[in-house]
Amino acid sequence: MVSRMAFARLAPAFQRASTSAASRRVFPSIRTYATAESEHSMTVREALNMAMEEEMIRDEKVFILGEEVARYNGAYKVTKGLMDKFGEKRVVDTPITEMGFAGIAVGAALQGLRPICEFMTFNFAMQAIDQIVNSAGKTYYMSGGNVPCPVVFRGPNGAAAGVAAQHSQDYAAWYGSIPGLKVISPWSAEDCKGLLKAAIRDPNPIVFLENEMMYGVSFPMSQEAMSDNFLLPIGKAKVEREGSDVTIVAHSKMVTHSMEAADILSKEGIKAEVINLRSIRPLDIDTIKKSVKKTNRQVFDVRLRYFAYGSFRLLIVEGGFPAFGVGSEICAQIVESEAFDYLDAPVERVTGADVPTPYATNLENLSFPDTPLIVKVAKRALYRTN
């Protein structure tokens, strides 16, 4: 418990360090999405904060609970200022007991409130897995649709930088396999605002998987996205970049690598289509199949880690563990559908290493695919390289 408390206090420092030195080293163009031509720009952190504030103003049944969310403004400052605006009855600091406060959130949702339950990291949510999967995920169905459970579980998911094996797991596939849960994995500021607002209003339990490395990244915001009524549909992917040669499917931080890879490929005359998955469950397989048929080279699902697929070429690039991932599921659904007829080659997967994430920086960097690797595999899918 002492180490957990220390982590809570030190997390912002880790975050600042990771978004400066590590981000510049590994993702040199990660902060280039907001442009001078954008009417508005906003960080992912600010977008999440705005979404919660707007929904708390709109609906007095919405409240936030979790470790350090109130007086400390959140371990990553996502809830900054909300206690001052709404008071301690609606922004609630909890003890260090994920099982306990997740259970409180589920109970409150079953009684008609709309709690937002923040986990300092989804690695700690392992302590609350029964509350999320059984109590939240199954009650709506087991009650014959009479008892909804409108709770949002949110927080950072997946690998960050220098936080080692026990704080680096990606839980998209874990929660994505559970009927009754909806699982969201946003990338941009617009994703975060529109999808979090939609999640708070949804009658189902939502697992909202953020990424620590993205919190400080700025993105352009459209005038529509700045509106109080801006919502994005859950279960619908977005084509971030049109292309005709190869399809790259990604979610969360991996969209960054995919966009960078597409830029590099374009210089060699390769037009890559980049799909931002946004939602893990429900999965928008139709958008992927449509792209596969168009490019005839299905490609990547770079999930919070990476996956690649190719239509005529199906490559799975994933930063998560090799076995039983989101990319594996997308691959299976493609193979079981009419899109299989458009594949030109066997499916190839590029994944994170099949080991617990190392703490040593040099080993950690070798554990996950990066932009150059996505470029290499895309070119190999097109028979442009060995």
List, for residues 86-132, the tens digit of each pLDDT value.
999 999 999 999 999 999 999 999 999 999 999 999 999 999 999 99
- Number of CB atoms found within 10 A of residue 369's CB: 24
Q: Is 296 left (phi over 0), alpha (psi -120 to 50) or beta?
A: left
Is 167 annotated in the active site?
A: yes
The answer to whether residue 15 scores a pLDDT higher than 60 is no
Q: Is 162 left (phi over 0), alpha (psi -120 to 50) or beta?
A: left
User: Of the candidates 214, 178, 162, 204, which has an alpha carbon nearest to the alpha carbon of residue 359?
Assistant: 162
Name the catalytic one among 55, 67, 98, 210: 98
User: What one-character DSSP code corresponds to residue 133?
Assistant: I
Is residue 68 very low, low, confident or very high in pLDDT (cuts 50, 70, 90)?
Answer: very high
- What is the 3-class SS of 57-97, one letter each residue? HHCCCEEEEECCCCCCCCCCCCCCCHHHHHCCCCEEECCCC
Name the catalytic one among 46, 68, 167, 260: 167
Q: Could you tell me what percent of the chain has a pLDDT over 70? A: 82
The answer to whether residue 228 scores a pLDDT higher than 80 is yes
User: What is the pLDDT, as a whole number, of residue 315?
Assistant: 62
The answer to whether residue 152 scores a pLDDT higher than 70 is yes
Is 257 annotated in the active site?
A: no
- Number of CB atoms found within 10 A of residue 25's CB: 11
First to last CA, the chain: 50
Rounded to the nearest 10 degrees, what angle do helices 285-295 and 326-335 cross at?
60
Is residue 65 very low, low, confident or very high in pLDDT (cuts 50, 70, 90)?
Answer: very high
Q: Could you tell me what percent of the chain has a pLDDT over 90? A: 63
Average pLDDT, the chain: 85
Compute CA 127 distance to the chain's CA centroid, rounded to the nearest angstrom: 20
User: Of the candidates 279, 275, 280, which has an alpha carbon nearest to the alpha carbon of residue 262?
Assistant: 275
